[in-house]
């Protein structure tokens, strides 16, 4: 990124914070540059330059420029490419999307040039807006991010004794599963690995929603451990 250069990329808003009288500080997950923080001058007022009020759950085409004075990125324009209406009208879809957005944002370091986070989040939004089991979409997103970041949990054998297992408990101390014999008080919830494989293979059945949500909660606890901070929007899940 050289001074004065304009960046154009697809982007999803993952945080917005009001700043001064009319500006907004925006965090974007972008297709070309990974996570970027930028200032949107007049972002609270200009609907001409910033479509839909700089909102989450929208795929935008973003234009950014580096200020030659300060070196900071400025967001000059957002135009809508794809809006996911269904998410906005459904409590579980919107709360699951809030968790997905926070996980993507917290795992992605600033300015790491990669497109993986963007594509995982864009695919999630597409899936969560229509899936019969929207919690399954979040389960897949979390596993894809953990895999990409190198924290994929040990799932098919006990993390302590090595026995192959299909059910057990999930423990942060071994970053994965424990068999019933090795399970300790620090382990989280019961984990049914066959059910997990069914759901993440694209199982889209409504009756899997509650089980998926339970597994999401377990994996969010694991993410909290990895990140050393809580995924706050997980409080919204119900
Ligand atoms: Zn064991």
Ligand 1 center from residue 189 Cα (angstroms): 16
Contacts of 73 (CB under 8 A, 6+ apart): 7, 36, 37, 38, 39, 64, 65, 66, 67
> Is the pLDDT assigned to residue 14 strictly greater than 60?
yes
Average pLDDT score, the chain = 89
167-214 pLDDT, tens digit each: 888 887 788 888 888 887 666 666 777 788 888 887 666 668 888 898
Between CA 195 and CA 193 the distance in angstroms is 5
- Domains identified in the chain and CATH numbers: 6-83 (2.40.50.140), 86-233 (1.20.1440.120)
The DSSP bridge partners found for residue 37 are: 27
30 pLDDT tier (thresholds 50, 70, 90): very high
φ and ψ at residue 191, rounded to 5 degrees: -135, 120
Ligand 1 center from residue 140 Cα (angstroms): 26
Write down the H helix ranges in 91-165: 91-107, 116-128, 134-149
55-74 pLDDT, tens digit each: 999 999 999 999 888 889 99
Ligand 1 center from residue 166 Cα (angstroms): 12
Please say whether the beta carbons of 111 and 34 come within 8 A. Answer: yes
111 pLDDT tier (thresholds 50, 70, 90): confident
pTM, entire model: 0.91
Between CA 127 and CA 192 the distance in angstroms is 23
> Is the pLDDT assigned to residue 45 strictly greater than 80?
yes
Exposure string over 105-137, b if 16+ CB within 10 A, otherwise e: bbbbeeeeebbbbbebbbebbebbbebebbbbb
Q: How far is CA 182 from CA 3, 90, 155, 158, in A?
A: 57, 40, 14, 8
> Is the pLDDT assigned to residue 101 strictly greater than 80?
yes
Please, what is the Cα angle at 195 between 191 and 196, to 5 degrees? 70
Ligand 1 center from residue 160 Cα (angstroms): 5
Ligand 1 center from residue 225 Cα (angstroms): 21
Ligand 1 center from residue 165 Cα (angstroms): 9
> Is the pLDDT assigned to residue 119 strictly greater than 60?
yes
Ligand 1 center from residue 210 Cα (angstroms): 27
φ and ψ at residue 157, rounded to 5 degrees: -140, 160
- Quote the percentage of the chain above a pLDDT of 70: 94
**Number of helical H runs and strand E runs in the chain:** 6, 8
Top-confidence residue, 24 or 205: 24
Ligand 1 center from residue 197 Cα (angstroms): 21
What's the confidence (pLDDT) of residue 163?
94
């Amino acid at each position: 990124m050289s001074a004065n250069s304009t960046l154009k990329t697809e982007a999803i808003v993952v945080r917005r914070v009001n700043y001064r009288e009319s500006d907004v500080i925006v965090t974007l997950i972008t297709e070309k540059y990974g996570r970027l923080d930028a200032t949107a001058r007049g972002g609270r007022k200009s609907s001409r330059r910033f479509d839909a009020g700089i909102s989450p759950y929208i795929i935008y085409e973003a234009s950014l420029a580096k200020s030659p004075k300060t070196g900071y990125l400025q967001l000059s324009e957002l135009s809508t490419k794809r809006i996911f209406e269904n998410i906005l009208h459904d409590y579980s879809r919107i709360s699951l999307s809030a968790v997905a957005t926070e996980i993507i944002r917290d795992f992605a370091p600033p300015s790491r040039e990669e497109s993986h986070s963007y594509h995982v989040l864009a695919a999630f939004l597409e899936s969560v807006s229509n899936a019969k089991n929207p919690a399954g979409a979040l389960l897949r997103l979390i596993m894809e991010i953990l895999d990409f970041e190198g924290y994929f949990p040990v799932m098919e054998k006990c993390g302590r004794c090595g026995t192959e297992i299909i059910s057990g408990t999930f423990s942060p101390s071994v970053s994965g599963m424990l068999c019933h014999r090795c399970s300790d008080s620090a382990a989280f919830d019961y984990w049914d690995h066959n059910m997990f494989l069914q759901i993440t293979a694209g199982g889209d059945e409504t009756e899997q929603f509650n089980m998926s949500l339970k597994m999401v909660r377990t994996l969010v606890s694991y993410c909290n451990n990895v990140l050393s901070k809580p995924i706050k929007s997980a409080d919204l899940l119900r």
